Structure formats: structure tokens, C-alpha cells
A and B are shown apart, each in its own frame.
Chain A
Amino acid sequence: MAESMVEGKQSLVDTVLSKAQDQQLKTTNVENEELIELDEGNLLAVNENKTDTKDFKKKKETILLSLTRDATQALFNSLWKLPVEQKDGAYLITLPESKTWMPREKPVPKKKAPTKWEEYAKTKGILNKKKSRMVWDEPSQQYKPRWGYQRANDDTKDWVIEVPDNADPYEDQFEKRKTAKKERVAKNELQRLRNVARSQKKKVPGIGLAPTEKPSKDHLSKALAVAHKSTASIGKFTDRLPKEKPSKFTGKKRKFEPSIGNLGSEKEKQLKVLDSVSKKIPTINVTKAANRMLRQDEEKRAQDKQSRKTPKKVKGRKASLGLGKPGRQGGGNKKTRGKRKR
């Protein structure tokens, strides 16, 4: 009874499998799995199964398709063997490291040449010890930066400086410190620029202008001024073209008159400027003059009109009264009728 049941179940399995086959569900079986190289990391499957050349020539497409199918199926079979996670309803697989070696996209970077400082440090055995940014400043009793703005131990900010024994008593010690600082800054800047020029393999002139491919108008005028001056007598005897003006680029800072100079001459200069300014202001009020002219014209026209006016010809009752005589001016009102002077 039990055996028959097992047999029955087995037959059930067979029927299911045969049904599946009948329904043409494609199999996941791959023949010749050994010759398919898989690289899950790159999702790469290489099928190295050999095919018969004659067969290939006859059924090219079908053979290619079956080869591709085998390779792809083998790849997916191996992928499903990897640990699967689920996230938001999707199956995720972490791909392993790729086995195929890829060539470089870009050439190998060149090693940077050590800088002058690096070479020096190497020879001297100087190590790069980390120093803290803030340092304790005794006079102000607080931590201040080691370098930079509002630094600790800033000797240019001392309000009292002892004059050393061997120094000139009339020397300005404060000024001395300031100039020393300026010189250090300038030296540092020069070194930096030289480093930059060296690293970029560009030439930097000591004085004057850097050579450029396309000089601007400003650059050209500066170059002209420099060339004009670059003679043994510093441009004193270099001729200028007939209409050439002296250049603005003297290389000097803008110079002003001294604050307490000659007040008298200053006044004269200012009065001159005032004259030129007053010239610009028109002395005649144009609108007023124009209006006056117009008014004059109108008045003249009005007078001319009055003189040409012929006396009104009087008719009827007025004529009987003798009012129509030549030379008599017309006009008047009811009250003056008959009463006006004749």
C-alpha cells in the first residue's frame, strides 16, 4: 500500500516534470560547463567550447545563439549561488572581486622632483615636526597665533624699544624694525615667485615686463616706456617721435604737493582754476534774454497795429450827431454819448 503510494507520488513528480517539458519551460541545464570561464565581478562569461567548422558554416546563427545561451545561463547560475539579500522587494547580490586584469586608462604619473627645500631638508636631516597654531603670549596673557594677523611676540608692535649701546642714538628703532619686516616679506615673495617660475619652467624677468604672446595696449605702452628709458643715459637723449607724448609710466609713485607748502602760490593756482570754472558758467541768462527779445517784438507789433488802425465809419443817428467826422476816435459808452468832446 505504501509502496504503491510512493510510486504514485513519483509518478506525480514525473507527470509534473513532463508537463513542464511539454509547456516548453526552458531548462537551466548547461552542457560543457567546464569550458565556460566566469568572472562574476565583471559579469563576464567566456565560452570556449569548440564548434565544428562545417556545422558552423551551415547554421551560423543557431550555433552562436546556443553558445551565447550556454554562457549566459552558466553566468546566471553562478550568480544565484552567491549570497542574496532582499531590499525593498528587490534581490541584491554583492559581486565578488573581478578576476580579469584591466589595462590603465591613463599613463603612470611621473614622480615629482623634490623641491629645493625638500632636498635641503633631506641632506640636513630636518624633520617636519608639527607645531601648534596658538602660542601663549606673555604680555597679553592669552593664546595668540604663532604667525599671521595679531601674532604673539610681534616685535613691530612694541611700544618701547631699548636702544642698544652700539647703535646710533638718532636712529629710529621702530622704523628699523618695520623696514626689516618689509624686507623679509619682499624676500619671501621673490623666493615664492622664483619657485613658481622654476616649477612652471617659465622665464621671469628681473625687472620690467614678462614677455607675452599677445600684448595688450597697456602692456605695449609700458614696454615702449621701458624701451625708451633703457639706454646708457636712462632715456635722456633718446629722441621722441614728433607727436609722441611723454609716457605716464614713470614707475614712480604718485606725487602730491607738500601739505604745508607755499600758501600764496596755492591761492593763485586756485584762483586760476576758479577763472576757468567761471568761464564755463554762461554770463547771459539765455532764456531771460530770449524772453526779453520776444516781449520787445510783441510790443513793437502791438504799437504798429494801433497806428495803422483806420477810424471806424459811423452811420445812422451817430452820424447826425456829427460823430462820424474823420479824426474822431470811436468808442465810448451810453453815458458819454453826445457828451464827448468834439
Chain B
Amino acid sequence: MRPLTQEETNTFFEKLSKYIGENIKLLIDRQDGSYCFRLHKERVYYMSEEQLKIGSSAAGETLLSIGSCFGKFTKSGKFHLHVTALDYLAPYAKHKVWLKPSAEQQFLYGHHIMKSGLGRLTEDTEQYQGVIVYNMNDLPLGFGVAAKSTQACRNCDPMTLVVFHQADTGQYIRDEDTLT
């Protein structure tokens, strides 16, 4: 377990800022305790200082997971966000998408969102902007990437994809083995 290097922090923050912008500051600087990011086996974990101290007694092969896993670094140095980060991204989301009840199931099974399933969408979302997906009762379902900007969404036909699926809470059941 080790802290992230400069380059790794850079890549990680760039990815996070796509979803929550400069609200990452609220994750780093917290009033209710000092939290930190640590890297273990190519995965980034977010934990409090107490958890860190306890967790550092088990390290290497024996440590499976600590705190909340935000995602992992791939072999080529790119960062992939996992659904386990949703709890921390949802409150600070910049661009949101609300789904109709009919389209919820489709998204939770891992499919992309079509315009027909779109309930609401934040104004001035650019194309390929990171978005958090909510259901009509404001429950976070997952996150994705906007396939079309808000303007373009207005003019396109109902069968086009508007949001590309990246992670959803259904993965907690589907990908149980691989999530940490």
C-alpha cells in the first residue's frame, strides 16, 4: 500500500474532475476527519486516517481491500472508475441525468440510455461529459458519459443513444467477484 505518485494523482484527478469538477477539493479537505487516497495492487482506495493506520498492519498479499475502492489503474496507466465510487461522486455531481422508470431496468442491466428513456438532463452538458445517472426519486443509479450535448439531445430522434453506460449499481450483483 502506498500513496499515489504525482503522475498517478494527475491522471486520477483528471478522471474525477470529468464527473465532479473542482469538487474534488471537498473530498481531499474534509471537516469531519482527514481522509486520504492509497494505492494497493493498482487500485485506488479512499479511507480515513484511522482506517489507514489499522489497514497498514496488514499489507501485501494479505490485504484485500481497505476503505472504499474508487477504481483501478490499467497496465497502460489509464484510470477506470468503478461503481464503488458512486457514493462519493453522487453528492458532488456537476452534470446529472434522470431516467424514466421504464428505462431504469435497462440501465441497471448494463445497457446504454436512449433518448426515449431520458427524463431530465442538466443544462449545457457538453458531448462526452461525465454524468451521474439518477432515477426519478433522485436515487443515484450509476454514471456514464454523455453521448450528445443537451442541445443535440433536443433535436435527435428517440432511438439514439444519449448516455453511454460506464458503471451502475447492478454491477454489485453482476460483478461481485471482481469488485473490491
Contact = CB atoms under 8 A, between A and B. Distances in A.
B160 interface: no
A285 interface: yes
A259 B1 contact: yes
A278 B22 contact: yes
A25 interface: no
Contacts of A270: 9, 13, 28, 37
A271 B28 contact: yes
A257 B34 CA distance: 18
Given A260-B56, A263-B34, A267-B34, A274 B28 contact: yes
A266 B3 contact: yes
B51 to A, nearest CB: 12
Contacts of B49: 263
Nearest to B59: A259
Interface in B19-69: 21-22, 24-25, 28-29, 34, 36-38, 49, 52-53, 56, 59
A270 B28 CA distance: 8
Contacts of B106: none
Given A256-B5, A257-B2, A277 B36 contact: no
A48 to B, nearest CB: 79
B38 A273 contact: no
Given A266-B3, A270-B9, A277 B28 contact: no
Q: Is the interface of A mostly helix, strand, loop or mixed?
A: helix
Contacts of A274: 13, 22, 24-25, 28
Interface in A270-290: 270-271, 273-274, 276-278, 280-281, 285, 287-288
B122 interface: no
A277 B10 CA distance: 7
Nearest to A270: B28
Contact of B124 (A258, A263, A266, A285): A285
Contact of A281 (B17, B56, B124): B17
A261 interface: yes
Contacts of A260: 52-53, 56
Contacts of A266: 3, 36
Contacts of B25: 271, 274
Given A267-B34, A278-B17, A281-B17, A273 B6 contact: yes
5 contacts: A259-B59, A260-B52, A263-B34, A273-B13, A277-B13
Complex A-B, nearest 7 residue pairs according to Cβ-Cβ distance, in ascending order: A256-B2, A277-B13, A257-B3, A273-B9, A278-B22, A259-B1, A270-B28
Given A271-B28, A274-B28, 20 more contacts: A259-B2, A259-B38, A259-B56, A260-B52, A260-B56, A263-B49, A266-B3, A267-B29, A267-B36, A271-B29, A273-B13, A274-B13, A277-B10, A277-B13, A277-B14, A278-B17, A280-B14, A281-B22, A285-B124, A287-B126
